[in-house]
Chain A
Amino acid sequence: MSAKIKEAIRTLLTEGKIKGFLGLREESGNIMPHLFCDPKELDHLSLGDWKKAGDARYPLNQLMIRLTMEYPEETFAVLVRGCDERGLKELFKWKQLNEEKIVLIGIGCPDELAKACECEKPFPDSLIDGPKGGKADSEKVARIETMDLDTRLQYWKAEFDRCIKCFGCRNVCPMCFCNECSLEEDQLVGTGEIPPDNPTFHLARAIHMVGRCIDCGLCEESCPADIPLRTLYKKVAEIISKEFGYKTGFSVDEKSPFNIIEVK
C-alpha cells in the first residue's frame, strides 16, 4: 500500500475536487475495480498486489469511458500505471475521454512486473509513488525473428489454432471502443467456426492495434488458450515505430499514421 497515493485520493475526495476515484478494492482476498466516492471506503483500497506486486490489473480506462458517458459533467480520478497513461493519452486524442475531467493518480511498476511485460516505460509521467523503472529488454519478438519463414508460419498457425473465439482479447482491451467490431463481421471472419479463420481473425485484430495498442498485456492475460498475442502486437508497434516514427501513447497531439479521420 502507498500512503502517498491513499492521501492524494483522500484529499481530492474531501476537497470535493472529484466525484469519485476509479481504482481497485480488496475484499476477502479478491481484488476488483471500484469507484470510491467516500473517503471512508479507502480502508479497502488496493493497488492490485495479489500474489505479486501489481499482478491483478483491470482495464480501468474502459470502465472510465462507461462512467463518463453516463456522467459527462463530473470529474473523476483514476489509478494509472505507465501503460494506462499511454492509453489515456490516445483516448484523449480519439475524443473518447475529456482530459479536463480526469485526474491521473500515477503508480510506478516494480522491476519484476516491468521485465515480465518487457515494458517500454513502466511508470507514468503523473507518478505519485512507486519506482521509475527503466526500459526492459525485448526478447519475445526477437525469438520469432530467429525462425525462418516456414517455421514461423507453423508456429503461428499452431498458436492460432487453439483460439476458441471467446473475444476476451477484444473485450478486456482498454483501447477497444468501437461500437461495431470488424471481428464480428461474417464476411471477414465466418461465424460459427472454431478456431476462427486462421490467420484472418488474429491478423485483423493485429492490424486494428496500430496506433491503439499500449502494450498493457491484458489481452494475453485473458486468453484461455495462452496465445502469445502480446508478441504479435509488440511487433506491430515495432513496425509502426520504424516505418512511421510513431509510438502509441507517447505524444499528446500527434495522430496515429493510420488515422485519416479528423475528429472535431
Chain B
Amino acid sequence: MEFKTVLSFCPYCGCGCGLLLEVLDGKIVGTLPSKTSPVNRGKLCVKGWTVHEFVTSPNRLTKPMVRKGDALQESSWDEALNLAAARLKEIKEKYGPDSIGVLTSAKCTNEENYVLQKFTRAAIGTNNIDHCARL
C-alpha cells in the first residue's frame, strides 16, 4: 500500500495555483491546496479543488468513436484516424485551410497542446486555434 501527495499545478487558468494530488495505490483520489506555494498559499478556487474529478471521470471516452448516420459508434483507432485525416484533407483542399478551426482544452497536458497547435499551424496551415481557458 502506498499513500502520498504529489505537488502539481492547476491546469486551468493562468494563475498557476500549487496543489497536492492525493494518490492512493497509484490512483488520484483527491486534491488539496499546497500550503507552501507562494502563488496561492493554501487557497484554491472551486475549479482547482475539483481537478482530480476529471482525471477519473466515468464520462471520459475509453474508445475512439465515429459518427455513423445520427449516432456515435465505437470504432477502432485506425478507422477513426483515417476518417479524420481524409476528411480534413478534403475540406482543406476544397475550402482552404482557414475553413478549419481547432479547439483544445485546459485539461490537456502542455505537451498535447503544443502538438495540437503545431498540427494546426504547420500541418493544416491556419491560425484558427483556441482553448477553453480563453473563453
Contacts and interface: CB of A to CB of B under 8 A. Distances in A.
A30 B4 CA distance: 14
B42 interface: yes
A167 B32 CA distance: 12
B35 A224 contact: no
Interface stretch (B44-52, B77-85, B115-123): B44-52
A19 B1 contact: yes
For chain B, give the interface size range.
Answer: 20 to 34
A182 B46 CA distance: 17
B109 interface: no
A171 interface: yes
Interface stretch (B22-30, B57-65, B66-74, B126-134): B22-30
A35 B34 contact: no
Contact of A70 (B5, B24, B43, B46): B24
Interface in A16-62: 19-20, 22, 25, 27, 29-35, 37, 50, 55-59
A31 B37 CA distance: 9
Contact of B35 (A20, A35, A56, A71): A56
A66 B29 contact: yes
A222 B33 contact: yes
Nearest to A19: B1
Interface string B1-44: 11111010000000000101010110001101111110010111
B52 to A, nearest CB: 11
A237 B37 CA distance: 32
Interface string A153-184: 00000000000111110011000000000000
Interface in A213-260: 221-224
B32 to A, nearest CB: 6
A203 interface: no
A224 B4 contact: no
Contacts of A171: 49
B47 to A, nearest CB: 9
Nearest to A28: B7
Interface of B: 1-5, 7, 18, 20, 22, 24-25, 29-30, 32-37, 40, 42-46, 48-49
5 contacts: A32-B7, A33-B32, A37-B2, A167-B49, A224-B45
